[in-house]
Amino acid sequence: MSTPRTLEHPDVVELSLDAVLSALADPMRRRIVVQLANGCHDQACIAFELPVSRSTATHHFRVLRLAGIIEQRYQGTAILNTLRSSCLEERFPGLLAAIVGAEAPSSS
Amino acid sequence: MSTPRTLEHPDVVELSLDAVLSALADPMRRRIVVQLANGCHDQACIAFELPVSRSTATHHFRVLRLAGIIEQRYQGTAILNTLRSSCLEERFPGLLAAIVGAEAPSSS
DNA sequence: TCGCTACGACGATGATCATCGTACTACGCT
DNA sequence: AGCGTAGTACGATGATCATCGTCGTAGCGA
């Protein structure tokens, strides 16, 4: 037990368009976001099966978290990832939907 | 006269989300786009008064043009810049509006 | 207790990029 | 013709970043 591990997340008001767009400019990170947006909520990092090493995957998830795009919380040794859709919508209305929609025409 | 100078522009169907988002991830380029979106149509590059050297400004305008975000055409020695709003809207609906709206709360 | 799993930290590396200065070109005006 | 203006081309440079491998750590199960 002790203190359960926690991960740093920016507050809603701290979200910067620069950080969000820089994070979303990378194809690998967009892939993660699209996968999360397509109903794969609360997935562990490993479940995404990214074609990169674990170190690189960790890096991408952290960039997304620090940009305020995803929320990460520990569950055992795994980390559950969730899209912070409402935070993003509140701060940058329509942005996430536009990008996910542009990337993944498979939905609908 | 001879052949008037022309500049290379990508076709609508060639627009890639990757190029567009990478271009828009830079604050200086977003500044240009926001300025164009706020009614400053057909402005010459120099009219933007960017806080960078001319070489750098040229670079940014070219990145925007090659990403398909702006249209550039010569008029004398100057270059008139226009937002390709309809092309972007056709390819990535809502994207430009979301970014411009998030960046510039001054409008409205 | 002993692994096994999922992930983070650290340091390195190679690529990309934003920035610059300088030299060059094209066009218009006098 | 000569000059000024607007922008381009060409390196160069310093910073950032995506990627990796290795090692460390926390939790779970046998």
- Residue at shortest CA–C1' distance from C28: B76
Average pLDDT, chain B: 92
pLDDT at A29 over 80: yes
- Work out the number of other CB atoms within 10 angstroms of the CB of residue A70: 25
- ∠ CA A102-A63-A76, nearest 5°, is 110
Please report the number of interchain residue pairs, chain A to chain B, with beta-carbon separation below 8 angstroms: 58
Tell me if B70 sits within 8 A of B57, measured CB to CB. Answer: no
Q: Report pLDDT digits (tens) over B19-70.
A: 999 999 999 999 999 999 998 788 999 999 999 999 999 999 999 999 999 9
Alpha-carbon torsion, ordered B100, A39, B13, A18, to 10 deg:
30
pLDDT at A108 over 60: no
A93 contacts on B by Cβ (under 8 Å): 98, 101-102
Crossing angle of helices A27-37 and A54-66, rounded to 10°: 70
Which of the nucleotides in strand C have any atom less than 7 Å away from a protein CB atom?
5-11, 17-23, 26-28
pLDDT for res A48 = 94
Q: Quickly give B7 CA vs C13 C1' distance in Å.
A: 37
- Residue at shortest CA–C1' distance from C26: B77
ipTM, 2 decimals?
0.91
User: Which residues of A2-89 form beta strands (DSSP E)?
Assistant: 43-44, 70-75, 78-83
CATH topology of domain A12-100: Arc Repressor Mutant, subunit A (1.10.10)
Produce one character per residue of B52-79: b if its CB has 16 or more CB atoms within 10 Å, e if not.
eeeeebeebbebbbebbbbbbeeeeeeb
CB-based contacts with strand C under 7 Å? A 7, 44-46, 54-55, 58, 61-62, 72, 77-79; B 2, 4-5, 22, 25-26, 28, 52-56, 59-60, 63, 74, 76-77
- Residue spans per domain, chain A: 12-100
pLDDT for res B2 = 56
pLDDT at A61 over 70: yes
For domain B13-100, the CATH class is: mainly alpha
